Structure 1
Amino acid sequence: MSFDINNSGPGVSDFILLKDLSEDGLLQNMKKRWEDGFIYTYIGNVIVSVNPYQPVNLYTKDIIELYRTNDTRDLPPHIYSLADITLRTMQYESQDQCIIISGESGSGKTEASKLIMEYIATIAGKNSRQITVEHVKDQLLNSNPVLEAFGNAKTVRNDNSSRFGKYMDLQFDGNGNPSGGKINTYLLEKSRVVTQQPNERNFHIFYQLLNGAEPELREHLKLKESAKYYKYLNETADDIDDANINKESLNNIINTMNSIGISDKDQLSLLEGIAAILHLGNIHFEPLEGGSNPGSKITNIEEVEMAAELLGIDSETLATALISRSINDYAGRSKKAIIVPLDVEKAEFSRDALAKALYSYLFDFLIQKVNDQINSNDADDTQKHVIGVLDIYGFEIFEKNSFEQLIINTCNEKLHQHFINYTLFSEREEYKRAGYSWDTNFYFSNQLERSKEMFQLIESKDKGIFALLDEECLMPVPSTTSFLNKLDHYHINHKYYDSFFWLKHYAGEVDYSINDFVEKNNDTLHSDLVFALYSSEKETFRELIPKSKVAKTSRVSRTPDTLGMQFRTSLANLMKNVTSKTPHYIRCIKPNTTKSSTYFDESLCLAQCRYLGLLENIRARRQLPKYAVPIIQRTWRSYRSHCLLNGMKKSVIESGNDWINIKWEKEPANEKLKEAFNNLKYIYYREMVSEKLLIFIFIFIFFFLYYYCYYYYYYYYYYYCIYFN
């Protein structure tokens, strides 16, 4: 599809203008537009994007320039429109902005974030220091392949699914000129390092390293070529030696790291850490023969030696830390450490905990190196403004839903609650500005109440799901049965909980497989392993460990950090970041599960529309004060709003509907509203008359000048002939 400035596509380009305001009307309009290549549609100031699953010619420099120099509402719906509004709002109102991109895995969220950043970086550079803008733009966009290699993985729904939340800030100085950037990451799915669901894979970087390493690098890392030799990669039914994995991908990643300023030393450290994780996964334990202590031993010590050499630590220290742990005897007089041997199950748990922690540290190290290149420290923080872009994995419902899905879905519940809160607040404020009484929007009010009850179930400090799970992990012998009994005891009568751990999320009911919840939540890395890694002779690996982690392991902690605790802390930081800014929304829709560019699965899309609340959003914005009055007010104030009215009128005319006969969701309730509605009609007719009058005046002037010139031509020609004859 080629871009046409005068073609907004079939149906209506803004769902607010739908004549058939129903689920079927919404779906048919979306389907019709998607099949014709129009993947974007408005809901007021919200963008709905449907993944095209094919290349589209919508993102050229010429199109960027069109949206920069024209009123975006006079142009077809586009993601550039929202990016332009966000940038101008930040510049004119001096307020931090945030673009929240939501949707299922595979709906195009990551691509949307790339397009947003590219537009903002390109446009902001028109009136500022071009070198700074190009540097920040290149760093942010070039870092994407590296972040995808370390943070993305193949899932049953998406071959390149983001398994972490990425929040990117573009920083601007007090004059609105770009000055730098920063990347924050949240909720890395580090459990994927040690286990994956059937037909899924580990993070891309493992396969890229095995397939693309040069012989010299492979020998240094002591790696074999096939993924089938490594436990952390070979326990899935997926084709782990897929020939489609590009052998040049590792070189591309290395070249990208070079381009964003990551040194050769740091690159090698990252790859050494990845290889060490693969060797850790291959360490095998067996029970000790004889004796009363249920200890264990390592049967393939060579894997320990290879991992230890890559990490720069003593192999005996690492081996000892894997099969035993020391506990300080604070009750005794000597206060010496007591060595407690670990059985096979606990030793495997320690090994996996080290692998997950190491990968998480490497990922944070990578993010820090990228930020070192783009973060601005020149200006005072009080003089900075930022535009943030949040790209985080969407709601997930699989055949088997584990602890990771609970974390992901809880995060999406939180973002949905934020959307409801902001929509209610902005609607109420707009009513007040227009001088109308507040009339509660029942859908959003009910959704807000539902969210509060859901988070009481999940996050309550004493009896919430995460609190009960943490409590179970502190038991001498934690068990799944005990945890499930506690859930049923406290929540069996809760409206959003069913026995055997069914939760009724806003996006649908989810049956969670609770069998491994306790093991996955108990993510504690005991102090011996922390100090073993901290004893590395390689500075990079010593610096990986947060100082707070080293300090904490030096003292007794009655409440060790569980994965649930880490998640809640990370989620709180994310929401603090998001709620401090003015939000803008992009709702991404996945049209089918087969990645077809021609098949529109109506049932799948309807489910997504429901849990994103699209129809209710349309209804809220169709109410007269929300929709008509701002148009009236802006139209009287400026010519720009005159263009806005014409743009909306054009959209309605193209759809075959009559602008003035739109059925409002809520009819005027008082004299002031009736007056506003009549003013809207007056403005419409006035504009129509003005257009026709202008055409008449133009025609009149044209003929006047024509006959005027004709008359004088023959007048002078007549006297010329008489004079010379």
Structure 2
Amino acid sequence: MSLLETNQIVYSKHKEEGWLPATVESAQEVGGDRSAVLRLESGDRVHLKGLSSDDDKWCLADQQSLLGTDDMVKMDALTEGSVLHNLRVRYRDYTIYTAVGSILVAVNPYQPLPRLYDEARMRVYSAAATDATPPPHPYHLMELAYRGLVSDRASQSILISGESGAGKTETTKYLLQYLSVRAGDGGSGGSVGVAEAVVQQNPVMEAFANAKTSRNNNSSRFGKYIKVELGGEGGVCGGHVTTYLLEKMRVVQQLPGERNYHVFYQLCAGANAAAREELGLEGGAESFALLTGGGCTAIRGVDDAAGYRLLQKCLGSLGLGEEARESLVRVLAAVLHLGNINFDPLEIRGQDAGSSIAGGLADVTLQHAARLLGVPPEKLVTSLTVALIGNAADGASGAGGGGGGRNSNFSVSVPLNVEAARAARDAVAKAIYAAAFSWLVGKLTLPRCAVCSAYGDSSSDTQFIGILDIFGFEAFGTNSLEQLLINYANERLQQQFNFFVFKLEEQEFQAEGLSAVYVDECRVEWTDNSEILSLLEAKPMGLLSLLNEEATLKNGTSENLVKRYRQGFDGAPCFCNRMPVRGGATLDEAIFGVRHFAGEVYYTVTGFVEKNRDAVPVALADLVLDSSDRFVSQIVLYCTVLYCARPGELWGTTTDACRELLPHDILFEFVRFCAA
């Protein structure tokens, strides 16, 4: 980087604005000490002392970034200041999309911009000449993917990533809307409605897996990979959605100012009077503990009743009959009533003797929960307050005994105290909701139409466009297992990104016979995150492997886990035992840190082992599997088959932190087609 010169335009680091353009008013060097005075556009002056060419207080300004360019690869000085100021200039003109070569950067406007997404705008991109470069837009991204598929008969993939509130959900909608219009249904003779069904999946997924958080009123609390199949003539003819990392803890616990999943509030607000009476919802959302934990039951400007009507319409359009829809809302109501079941401590001669249902067998909310789940109330009481312990349950018992199975011979019944009974209640509520969600996602798979089927019986005979919508890197005030898994998934994607963007480029230079000097001159400095991934996923001594091992131990605890972390990784380059500030003070005993590619994150280990076990007590699992309600037993059985890998393993008992992470095959399928 060259030294500062008078009248040179640069970017100056700013506490609030990030970087601001400034003019070098004066620059001098006295005895090897360089200093300068910068004048901001506001007239304020910034005095810089002890400058060096790699100083972080200023950076070179690119002329195009001062005006705002639509593609930042055109800039001569691709500095942090140039990138951020370029985005700011365009954003001020409501130009929220900017390209970086094949990458599209979107800045969320937090307001509707309908003219950006109308049919006229779609025609701009669908009619653009092959060698034309229309303005950056999700429609252009999808048009390029569509043309690549049709012309090369090669599948395509698009990655959408960003922090909560960045606009991932909306961007996914726009991509799918454009594809449904652009591709239509099955070319000249496809199955009517398949393309539209792809779009109608969105309200369903949002209802069941989106929620209000402190940052975003419609935050996706899961990841998804959408594959839209296209036939020989380029028409949409099928597709399916793979989901991962649903935030199950939200079902039973919300932070202040946050809500549970939208569908619960939509149900309470939108069900008709007869349904509310049948489901025990007369008190509305405010009457349920699972919906009031964050102290927020409504979102300003959002009509939950209208959301419920839209949900029902979309479910019907996607082929879910009235009986199935009624069964689904019964399960949702059952989860709400489970959350309202409370427990009183039992004592015998002053000693803890377990717990009982507050209100006894006649408790109204207990009766509602049992009726809606299709189980006898007295058996539900027993399953919530007594654990069955036997030889088969000695592995990872968890709250209420998580091991064992239907074929186990239990010999001991152990009363659960109030805390353990609550944990059992919450575990089954989370598991039932997750089972319903998994079942529903399976139902959203679109059948292949006649046109696609004509090309062969295997889906490999058709091409697809895949959309990977994943959480961005997360670092909150308090971070738990959910954030660790999300950040691990991002580390893996970052590694693949590094490989295809940097490594392969260098290899291509070398393959074309370019000299080593030229390759060195063109090389871009980038951070290899292999050490971070090794810390996280190495076997048998990575963070996740040790977590899985601790969860299988009968007496395994989160407290013991963090001790093993500290002992095993103290001094490791990517592991933090000490805070970077306050004189390097030792972290709280329940906290450890990881130096991720995007920055340091400190995780509170409390609850890690329990969340990883995610165990449903044996008695509760068996009870729900034996439900007299065919729908309830069906979704639980579906979830059992979906996740259980070992004979005799019960629903919800797999102790594997990576079970619901982005599967390896999806990741590699995605990056393979991105690189094509």
Give the TM-score range, shorter chain. Answer: 0.7 to 0.9
Q: Is the 8 A contact 1:162 1:392 kept in 2?
A: no
1:357 CA displacement: 0.8
Which of 68, 73, 85 is equivalent to 1:11?
68
Q: Is the 8 A contact 1:154 1:201 kept in 2?
A: yes
Provide the residue aligned with 2:377 in structure 1. 315
1:555 and 2:648 aligned:
yes
Counterpart CA distance in 1 for 2:217 and 2:189 is 36
1:414 CA displacement: 1.7
Provide the residue aligned with 1:101 in structure 2. 160
Counterpart CA distance in 2 for 1:325 and 1:529 is 9
Q: Is the 8 A contact 2:186 2:236 kept in 1?
A: no
Provide the residue aligned with 1:492 in structure 2. 570
Shift in CA distance, 389/437, structure 1 to aligned 2, threshold 3 Å? farther
Counterpart CA distance in 1 for 2:464 and 2:339 is 42
Provide the residue aligned with 2:599 in structure 1. 508
Provide the residue aligned with 1:469 in structure 2. 547
1:120 and 2:212 aligned:
no
Provide the residue aligned with 1:306 in structure 2. 368
Deviations 1:299-331 (A, max 9, x none): 233323211211222222322222223344579
Provide the residue aligned with 2:632 in structure 1. 541
For structure 1, which segment, 152-161 or 363-372, has the greater mean C-alpha deviation from structure 2 after superposition?
363-372
1:194 and 2:252 aligned:
yes
Structure showing the higher strand proportion among its residues = 2
Shift in CA distance, 310/241, structure 1 to aligned 2, threshold 3 Å? farther
Q: Give the AA of the match of 2:74.
A: L
Q: Give the AA of the match of 2:479.
A: N
Q: Is the 8 A contact 1:113 1:391 kept in 2?
A: yes
Provide the residue aligned with 1:518 in structure 2. 609
Deviations 1:374-425 (A, max 9, x none): 6888342231111101112222221121222112222222222221122135
Provide the residue aligned with 2:81 in structure 1. 24
Q: Give the AA of the match of 2:648.
A: R
Shift in CA distance, 74/482, structure 1 to aligned 2, threshold 3 Å? closer
1:432 CA displacement: 5.6
Q: Is the 8 A contact 1:228 1:241 kept in 2?
A: no
1:347 CA displacement: 1.9
Counterpart CA distance in 2 for 1:524 and 1:50 is 41
Counterpart CA distance in 2 for 1:114 and 1:287 is 50
Counterpart CA distance in 1 for 2:467 and 2:75 is 29
For structure 1, which segment, 388-397 or 62-71, has the greater mean C-alpha deviation from structure 2 after superposition?
62-71
Counterpart CA distance in 1 for 2:500 and 2:135 is 26
Which of 394, 410, 416 is equivalent to 1:337?
410
Counterpart CA distance in 2 for 1:331 and 1:482 is 21
Shift in CA distance, 115/490, structure 1 to aligned 2, threshold 3 Å? same
Provide the residue aligned with 1:678 in structure 2. none
Provide the residue aligned with 2:56 in structure 1. none
Shift in CA distance, 490/443, structure 1 to aligned 2, threshold 3 Å? farther
Counterpart CA distance in 2 for 1:555 and 1:518 is 22
Provide the residue aligned with 1:359 in structure 2. 433
Counterpart CA distance in 1 for 2:505 and 2:654 is 41
1:566 and 2:640 aligned:
no
Provide the residue aligned with 1:387 in structure 2. 465
Shift in CA distance, 314/572, structure 1 to aligned 2, threshold 3 Å? farther
Counterpart CA distance in 2 for 1:44 and 1:354 is 48
Provide the residue aligned with 1:149 in structure 2. 207
Q: Give the AA of the match of 1:567.
A: E
Provide the residue aligned with 1:423 in structure 2. 501
Shift in CA distance, 285/97, structure 1 to aligned 2, threshold 3 Å? same
1:335 CA displacement: 7.7
TM superposition score normalised by structure 2: 0.78
SS of alignment partner, residue 322 of structure 1: helix
Q: Is the 8 A contact 1:402 1:517 kept in 2?
A: yes
Q: Is the 8 A contact 2:248 2:430 kept in 1?
A: yes
SS of alignment partner, residue 512 of structure 1: strand
Counterpart CA distance in 2 for 1:225 and 1:10 is 57
Q: Is the 8 A contact 1:9 1:33 kept in 2?
A: no
Q: Is the 8 A contact 1:312 1:537 kept in 2?
A: yes
SS of alignment partner, residue 214 of structure 2: coil
Q: Is the 8 A contact 1:152 1:160 kept in 2?
A: yes
Which of 348, 352, 355 is equivalent to 2:422?
348
SS of alignment partner, residue 258 of structure 2: coil
Q: Give the AA of the match of 2:376.
A: D
Provide the residue aligned with 2:491 in structure 1. 413
Provide the residue aligned with 2:169 in structure 1. 110
The number of residue pairs the alignment matches comes to: 571
Deviations 1:93-113 (A, max 9, x none): 222211001111111111111
Q: Is the 8 A contact 2:207 2:261 kept in 1?
A: yes
1:454 CA displacement: 0.9
Q: Is the 8 A contact 1:262 1:370 kept in 2?
A: no
For structure 1, which segment, 458-467 or 26-35, has the greater mean C-alpha deviation from structure 2 after superposition?
458-467
Provide the residue aligned with 2:120 in structure 1. 62
5+ residue gaps, structure 1, are 1-7, 585-725
1:234 CA displacement: 2.0
Provide the residue aligned with 1:87 in structure 2. 146
SS of alignment partner, residue 413 of structure 2: strand
Shift in CA distance, 54/436, structure 1 to aligned 2, threshold 3 Å? same
Q: Is the 8 A contact 1:181 1:375 kept in 2?
A: no
Which of 169, 179, 182 is equivalent to 2:227?
169
Deviations 1:128-157 (A, max 9, x none): 13653x612211111211110111001111
Shift in CA distance, 324/40, structure 1 to aligned 2, threshold 3 Å? same
1:205 and 2:263 aligned:
yes
1:63 CA displacement: 2.4
1:175 CA displacement: 4.7
1:127 CA displacement: 8.7
The within-5 A match list for 1:123-134 is 123-125=182-184, 128-129=187-188, 131-132=190-191
1:456 CA displacement: 1.2
Q: Give the AA of the match of 1:366.
A: L
Counterpart CA distance in 2 for 1:52 and 1:128 is 35
Deviations 1:256-304 (A, max 9, x none): 2222221111111111111101111111223332177843222233323
Counterpart CA distance in 2 for 1:228 and 1:474 is 39
1:35 and 2:110 aligned:
no
1:27 CA displacement: 1.4
Deviations 1:572-630 (A, max 9, x none): 3542442342359xxxxxxxxxxxxxxxxxxxxxxxxxxxxxxxxxxxxxxxxxxxxxx
Structure showing the higher helix proportion among its residues = 1
Counterpart CA distance in 1 for 2:647 and 2:565 is 34
Q: Is the 8 A contact 1:318 1:529 kept in 2?
A: yes
1:436 and 2:514 aligned:
yes
Q: Give the AA of the match of 1:249.
A: G
Shift in CA distance, 245/473, structure 1 to aligned 2, threshold 3 Å? same
Counterpart CA distance in 2 for 1:335 and 1:505 is 44
Q: Is the 8 A contact 2:384 2:421 kept in 1?
A: yes
Aligned-pair identity in percent equals 34
Shift in CA distance, 362/453, structure 1 to aligned 2, threshold 3 Å? same
Q: Give the AA of the match of 2:167.
A: G
Shift in CA distance, 432/242, structure 1 to aligned 2, threshold 3 Å? same
Counterpart CA distance in 1 for 2:596 and 2:522 is 19
1:86 CA displacement: 1.0
Counterpart CA distance in 1 for 2:620 and 2:218 is 32
SS of alignment partner, residue 295 of structure 1: strand
1:158 CA displacement: 0.4
- Please give the root-mean-square deviation of Cα atoms over the aligned residues, in Å: 3.1
The within-5 A match list for 1:641-680 is none
Counterpart CA distance in 2 for 1:436 and 1:59 is 44
Provide the residue aligned with 1:670 in structure 2. none
Shift in CA distance, 281/442, structure 1 to aligned 2, threshold 3 Å? farther
